[in-house]
Amino acid sequence: MSTELALVTGEFEEITNIIRDLEYFKYAKKILDIECGTGLYPIFIAKTFPNIEIYALDLPYIIRNITRKIVEAYKLQDRIRLIPADFTKDDIDKNYDIVLDIGAVSPLYIDVLKKIYNALNSNGILISKHIFLDAKGQEHSLLATLFEYLQIGRRITATLEEAINNIQKAKFKIVKIIDLKTRPGHKIIISKK
């Protein structure tokens, strides 16, 4: 989902309010935002939690042409370290307290979930947001699935049950599932290593 849509629908504000209230951020030293896009979540975190070391990862052309420019516009290039990489193929480093995934990693990608698990410190937290095939407001998830078939030739949108099963197969313990009020069918899943 585009950042513009997240801003217009109120999703960005809802997610940032959830993040601000999570205990985990009070103790975190190092976080990674996978597929950070515009970098607005890392920017929010940098401004809200001044003691956290922030890494923002996305494809090289996105980091170069979008993220870097926005992070520099906010004068946060010294606080947010940009990582040009493909999280499905490249190493994502280690020793993160929190990995933030706002819709990048499909819960069907068990290998990427395992990579994230290995990148986290003991008791590390994965905060992920997804739309699910079996959710209320299902028309959004059906459109997402149609787009996936047209773009990549297969489904990556999961049912909630598939997501829970794969998150647990990757050895995570699900701590909490939060329904987003601003986006029917979207949920935040908080999982612990």
Percent of the chain, pLDDT > 90? Answer: 61
**37 contacts 64 by C-beta, under 8 angstroms:** no
CATH number at residue 27: 3.40.50.150
Rounded to the nearest angstrom, the gap between the alpha carbon of residue 176 and the centroid of all alpha carbons in its chain is 15
Give the count of domains, the chain.
Answer: 1
Q: pTM for the full model?
A: 0.85
Domain that holds residue 80: 3-192
pLDDT per position as a tens digit, 110-162? 888 999 999 999 999 999 988 765 555 555 545 555 454 445 555 456 678 88
**183 contacts 131 by C-beta, under 8 angstroms:** yes
Query: In terms of Cα–Cα distance, which of 158, 148, 29, 41 is closest to 102?
Result: 41
Tokens of 51: 């003691």
pLDDT per position as a tens digit, 7-30? 545 788 999 999 999 999 989 999
